[in-house]
């Protein structure tokens, strides 16, 4: 072997040794990095997170109104809900680390629903990892819906349907009304790879919320999750609410005589839904031309169906999550919207909303708009009003019966004045 070959061999050996040393150092550094359980600032969560600095305790004792503003419920309600969900979200402590307490998990989820904050923002406030925030939100939202499952419930007996109708007549002078129906597009961030699956004609991605509301602004039926891409007419045709009305599973009572007229029990809607034997909608403008009686019917119907407008207004005012695109998976977003509706019903049962915040009627029948109408609704949009084919003759006759009733034996002393003022 000459000198040149010996030099090349030595160089090759040195290169191999250098490569070996490099990979050993890289492996050693990787092992050293894995010894760190998490980043240092997350380890200080028990002492310095927004929950651990006792801000909730201070607000509970010193400013109960602000506590309710932060978590959308008062302290007794929060404690009741915490006790109910704890068995479903509580984790065991280990020798490696302390688990995140149920109270912190619940407060994080309520803040998410109340503010619509990003998971990155919640991660920094509560000093937990990104994947931990995502897991907590999914698990706690499921727990809330499970323990509040009975809050949204369709009346199971004719007597309960009659009570719903009595409340509508008592509060809004509309007999045999058992609910008001409306739909909303709830904006979401479309998942990667979903294409135009959720993209609606309004120019954003959404899921659809259809709901029926009683006279006390409580949801009695909700249907959430239909792709916003579908036409609004198609959304209604495939909705669970329409199916329940058509197949009789709602167990709506049969028609009864009211002030001399045989009337069915009906839901109230706007022109977004088709006229049916169980759904009343207003007369179109063309059909109201030179017809004072039909204009009065439209006024009475619009006056009564304000309940669903108010329910949605309270919902979006209470849960700012609904005002901007929801940045989570559409399935989880649907569950989050359902959680908002469940909590809304829970709070309505406590009647903690100000009477001036929702629409209410004056002594002369005039409607005084609620304060919620002055607030920004964001991307919480109505479904579009659709043009449908000619309604069934039986449905038109039912609407005419209500129209005749409102212009004869159930005529209100101030209705003509308000209709003419419009």
What is the per-residue DSSP string for 22-56? HHHHHHHHHHHHHT--S-HHHHTHHHHSTTTTTHH
Same domain, 199 and 323: yes
DSSP state string for 169-219: HHHHS-TTEEEEEEEEEEEBPPPTT-TTTTB-TTSSBEEEEEEEE-TTS-E
Read off the pLDDT band of 336 (50, 70, 90): very high
Closest CA to 45 of 100, 94, 86: 100
pLDDT(372) > 70: no
Q: Is residue 15 part of a domain?
A: no
Q: Are residues 345 and 210 in the same domain?
A: yes
Q: Is 27 among the domain residues?
A: no
pTM: 0.82
pLDDT of residue 104 exceeding 70, the answer is yes
pLDDT tens-digit map of 319-328: 999 998 998 8
Q: What percent of the chain has pLDDT over 90?
A: 38
Token reading at 179: 């609910």
Residues 190 and 314 in one domain: yes
More confident: 412 or 387: 412
Asked if 321 and 378 count as a contact pair (C-beta separation under 8 A), the reply is: no
Backbone angles phi, psi at 261, to 5 degrees: -115, 135
Cα(335)–Cα(338) distance, integer angstroms: 5
- pLDDT tens digit string along 170-228? 999 999 999 999 988 899 988 888 778 888 877 888 888 989 999 999 999 998 877 87
Task: Give which of 34, 71, 37 is closest to 51, Cα–Cα.
Answer: 71
Of residues 40, 69, 67, 41, the one with CA closest to residue 54: 67
Give the range of the structural domain holding residue 347, as residue numbers without chain letter: 151-421
Q: Rounded to 10 degrees, what is the CA torsion of 72, 78, 84, 85? A: 60
Give dist(CA 358, CA 234) in Å, integer: 31
Look at 104 and 297; give whichever has higher pLDDT. Answer: 297
CB-based contact 123:108 (threshold 8 Å):
no
Give the pLDDT band of residue 353 (cuts 50, 70, 90): low
- The reply to whether 155 and 142 lie within a common domain is no
CA–CA gap between residue 90 and residue 296 (Å, rounded):
56
The number of distinct structural domains making up the chain is: 2
Closest by alpha carbon to 255, among 181, 176, 178? 176
Residue 11, domain member (yes or no) = no
> 3-state DSSP call for residue 272?
coil
The mean-pLDDT minimum among 204-213, 282-291, 347-356 falls in: 347-356
Do 333 and 184 reside in the same domain of the chain? yes
Mean pLDDT of 349-356: 61
What is the pLDDT at residue 19? Answer: 47
pLDDT of 297 > 90? The answer is yes
Is 140 in the same domain as 156? no
Instruction: Confirm whether 55 is domain-assigned.
Output: yes
pLDDT higher than 90, residue 411: yes
Domain boundary among 147, 165, 180: 147
Asked whether residue 316 falls in the same domain as residue 276, the answer is: yes
pLDDT at position 83? 95
Question: Number of C-alpha atoms within 13 angstroms, CB side, residue 253?
Answer: 20
| Rounded to 5°, angle at Cα 65 from 61 and 71 | 90
pLDDT value of residue 360: 65
Between CA 261 and CA 266, with CA 264 as vertex, the angle to 5 degrees is: 130
Q: What local confidence, expressed as pLDDT, does residue 250 receive? A: 85
Q: Is the pLDDT of residue 296 over 90?
A: yes
Say if residue 247 is in the same domain as residue 357: yes
Classify residue 30: in a domain, yes or no.
no
User: Is residue 102 in some structural domain?
Assistant: yes
Quick one: pLDDT at residue 388? 56
Q: Please give the pLDDT value at position 13.
A: 46
What's the confidence (pLDDT) of residue 36? 46
Task: State the pLDDT confidence band at 53, using cuts at 50, 70 and 90.
Answer: very low
Q: Which residues face 179 on adjacent strands? A: 267
Does one domain contain both 292 and 189? yes
334-338 mean pLDDT? 95
User: 234 vs 107, which has greater pLDDT?
Assistant: 107
219, β-bridge pairs:
213
Q: Which of 147, 171, 190 finishes a domain?
A: 147
Q: How far apart are the first and last CA of the chain?
A: 110
Give residue 273's pLDDT band: very low, low, confident or very high (50, 70, 90): confident
User: Dihedral angle at the C-alpha atoms of 404, 405, 411, 416, nearest 10 degrees?
Assistant: -30
Residue 213 shares a structural domain with residue 307 = yes
Instruction: Give a yes or no: residue 6 inside a domain.
Output: no
* Domain boundary residue, one of 121, 147, 173: 147
Residue 162 belongs to some domain of the structure: yes
Neighbours of 117 (CB within 10 A): 18
**Is 397 found in the same domain as 290?**
yes
238 and 292 in a single domain? The answer is: yes
């Amino acid at each position: 072997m000459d000198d040149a070959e010996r030099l090349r061999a030595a160089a090759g050996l040195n290169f191999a040794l250098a490569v070996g040393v490099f990979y050993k150092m890289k492996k050693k550094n990787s092992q050293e990095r894995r010894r760190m359980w998490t980043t240092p600032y997350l380890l200080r969560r028990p002492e310095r997170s927004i929950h651990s600095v006792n801000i909730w305790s201070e607000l509970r004792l010193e400013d109960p109104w602000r506590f309710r503003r932060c978590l959308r419920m008062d302290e007794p309600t929060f404690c009741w809900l915490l006790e109910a969900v704890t068995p479903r979200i509580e984790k065991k402590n280990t020798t490696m680390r302390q688990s995140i307490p149920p109270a912190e998990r619940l407060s994080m989820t309520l803040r998410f629903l109340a503010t619509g904050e990003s998971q990155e923002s919640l991660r920094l406030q509560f000093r937990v990892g990104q994947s931990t925030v995502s897991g907590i939100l999914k698990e706690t939202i499921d727990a809330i819906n499970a323990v509040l499952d009975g809050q949204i419930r369709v009346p199971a007996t004719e007597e309960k349907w009659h009570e719903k109708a009595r409340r509508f007549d008592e509060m809004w002078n509309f007999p045999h009304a058992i609910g008001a129906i409306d739909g909303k597009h709830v904006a979401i961030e479309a998942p990667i790879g979903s294409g135009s699956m959720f993209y609606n004609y309004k120019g954003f991605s959404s899921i659809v919320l259809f709901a029926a509301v009683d006279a006390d602004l409580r949801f009695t039926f909700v249907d959430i999750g239909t792709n916003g891409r579908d036409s609004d007419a198609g959304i209604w045709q495939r909705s669970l609410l329409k199916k329940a009305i058509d197949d009789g599973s709602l167990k709506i009572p049969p028609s009864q005589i009211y002030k001399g007229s045989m009337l069915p029990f009906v839901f109230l809607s706007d022109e977004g839904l088709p006229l049916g034997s169980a759904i009343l909608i207003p007369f179109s403008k063309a059909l109201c031309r030179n017809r004072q009686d039909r204009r009065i019917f439209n006024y009475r119907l619009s006056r009564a169906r304000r309940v669903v407008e108010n329910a949605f207004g309270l919902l979006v005012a209470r849960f700012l999550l609904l005002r901007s695109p929801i940045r989570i998976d559409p399935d989880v977003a649907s569950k989050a919207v359902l959680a908002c509706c469940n909590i809304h019903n829970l709070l309505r049962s406590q009647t903690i909303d100000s009477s001036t915040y929702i629409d209410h009627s004056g002594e002369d029948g005039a409607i005084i708009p609620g304060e919620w109408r002055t607030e920004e609704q964001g991307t919480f949009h109505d479904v579009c009003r659709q043009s449908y084919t000619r309604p069934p003759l039986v449905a038109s006759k039912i609407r005419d019966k209500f129209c005749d009733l409102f212009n004869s034996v159930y005529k209100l002393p101030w209705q003509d004045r308000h209709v003419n003022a419009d």
